[in-house]
Structure 1
Amino acid sequence: MSWSHGPSATAQARLMGLDALRGIAILMMVAFHFCFDLTYWRLAHFQLLSDWRWIVWRDLIVSLFLLLVGMSLVLARGQSAARFWRRWARLTGCALLISLVSWGMFHQRFIYFGVLHFISLTWLLSRLWLSRAAWLRHRVLLPLALLCLLAGGLLAFPAMDPRWLNWLGLAAHKPATEDYVPLLPWLGVVLLGMSLAQTPLAAWLGRRGGGGWRPLAWLGRHSLAIYLLHQPLLMGLLALYVWYRASA
């Protein structure tokens, strides 16, 4: 595929399949955050931070999103530099907005390196990877992915605990923040997605990119807007409900 042209028709079909999967991840995320909001307003008592089942659900959602990020980076690598930087600036601006809003809500537990911050950095790294054909080889990406996963899961150093270092993912203690997606091990999930984009799975997604998947694909194409808007909407509705119940 040429670096100067947009995705081919085949790649566009595959991207629609990825959008549908991203739509599924969006629905899972909204459901998870709704449970978080119910707990925040003391309308329920879910142990989201301590119960392993909630932790696994959260990790599954993040893993699905980041697998799709990796696959999309490969399949859409023909986009122009101008389009890339425009999309990166929008994403990074949204990440900074999340940090600002979360500071007002959670103070010291504000989000300084959550999922949007991670994806923003990953997009920058991808500009280096995708400019070198060797990085795209399945036999290179897969071992690197496994190395990142193992490093993030096994290595931990107290010296990496400060906030200006713990975003790398080698901290001995998880920081106090409402969303934390460090470079390791999650970079391994993105690299795994980049590797999967070169397997028959990508072609299978292309064949499943239409029909009943279209509503999910619509959600996936608007995932950033949904990510930004769903929490204010849910929080606002629940706040109104709590106020109504208290005043009734």
Structure 2
Amino acid sequence: MAQPMTQRLDRIDLLRASAMLWMTAYHFCFDLNFFRLIREDFYRDPFWTWQRTAIVSLFLFTAGLSQAVAVHQGQIWARFWRRWLQVAGAALLVTAGSLLVFPGSFIYFGVLHGIAVMLIVVRLTAGWGAWLWLLGTLAIGLKWAAPSIMVAWPALEVFNTPWLNWLGVISRKPVTEDYVPLLPWLGVMWWGVAAGRWALRNHPQWLGNDAPARGVNKALVLMGRWSLSYYLLHQPVLMGLIWLGMQLT
């Protein structure tokens, strides 16, 4: 039996590319700070922490949009699992790399780890319609309510341990360079799925089309389509270039 063909919609790739460019600029500044060329507090300064939140939100929202399109176009589970294995494998590479660079704060549940788990959840729930808006709101709201809930029920402190803090029901943020737990971020991806399903029914042109892009848009669409490879490579390249520049000055 022939497999359903899936088409990439250019505006989703453009949106993803925008997040990638913003991420690159953010990480370039982070790396300058890592090499002590600038002095910034990326862990507490709202100027940087809110940028990180916005970048991750944009990535996860576009991931939700993409899943809505994939389900709408009849993507089979075999194709889904092939892509999922790529994401999960990349997440393991990030963990291994961060162990070398940040042994005391390595990444064990960062954005790729979170996406790998969330993709399965949103795939299973993509047909829940408008309920996804409510579920997304609850997932985001529970993140803010968790500290108070844990004060009321101290036994829930177990969720702060590394074995369970990937769920996001925490009152203390773990020491790690990248932390993207299910709560609240699953809510953002659910909103992306809900928005994508709504747009496909009412305004499919908002998501673009599969017509060949031109000029700058062509480059950005290509970047958006190779987002996983770009994500894995951009930090080693940036850090290598900065280190090289330091050796030449």
Q: TM-score range by the shorter chain?
A: 0.7 to 0.9
- Say yes or no: does 1:181 pair with 2:172: no
Which of these residues, 49, 52, 62, is aligned with residue 55 of structure 1? 49
For residues 125 and 44 of structure 1, the distance between their equivalents in structure 2, rounded to whole angstroms, comes to 40
Alignment correspondent of 2:133: 142
Alignment correspondent of 1:80: 76
Alignment correspondent of 1:151: 142
Q: Kindly state the Cα deviation for residue 123 of structure 1 after the two structures are TM-superposed.
A: 1.6
Report the aligned-residue RMSD: 1.8
Please tell me whether the aligned partners of residues 106 and 176 of structure 2 are also in contact (alpha carbons under 8 angstroms).
Answer: yes
- Say yes or no: does 1:104 pair with 2:100: yes
Please tell me whether the aligned partners of residues 6 and 80 of structure 1 are also in contact (alpha carbons under 8 angstroms).
Answer: no
Deviations 1:3-24 (A, max 9, x none): x6233xxxx36x2210011011
For residues 128 and 74 of structure 1, the distance between their equivalents in structure 2, rounded to whole angstroms, comes to 11
Please tell me whether the aligned partners of residues 159 and 170 of structure 2 are also in contact (alpha carbons under 8 angstroms).
Answer: yes
For residues 85 and 119 of structure 1, the distance between their equivalents in structure 2, rounded to whole angstroms, comes to 13
Counterpart amino acid of residue 121 in structure 2: L
Alignment correspondent of 1:203: 205
Please tell me whether the aligned partners of residues 20 and 214 of structure 1 are also in contact (alpha carbons under 8 angstroms).
Answer: no
Q: Which moved more, 1:63-72 or 1:203-212?
A: 203-212
Q: Structure 2: which 5+ residue stretches go unaligned?
A: 151-156
1:106-125 superposed matches below 5 A: 106-125=102-121
- Say yes or no: does 1:218 pair with 2:217: no
Counterpart amino acid of residue 154 in structure 1: A
Q: Structure 1: which 5+ residue stretches go unaligned?
A: none
TM value normalised by structure 1: 0.88
Q: Kindly state the Cα deviation for residue 208 of structure 1 after the two structures are TM-superposed.
A: 10
Deviations 1:196-239 (A, max 9, x none): 11234653132697455322111100111110111111111111
Cα 1:196–1:180 shift into 2, 3 Å: same
Alignment correspondent of 1:242: 246
Counterpart amino acid of residue 109 in structure 1: S
Alignment correspondent of 2:59: 65
Q: Kindly state the Cα deviation for residue 241 of structure 1 after the two structures are TM-superposed.
A: 2.0
SS in 2 for 1:46: coil
For residues 184 and 226 of structure 1, the distance between their equivalents in structure 2, rounded to whole angstroms, comes to 26
- Say yes or no: does 1:39 pair with 2:33: yes
Counterpart amino acid of residue 172 in structure 1: S
Sequence identity (%)? 43
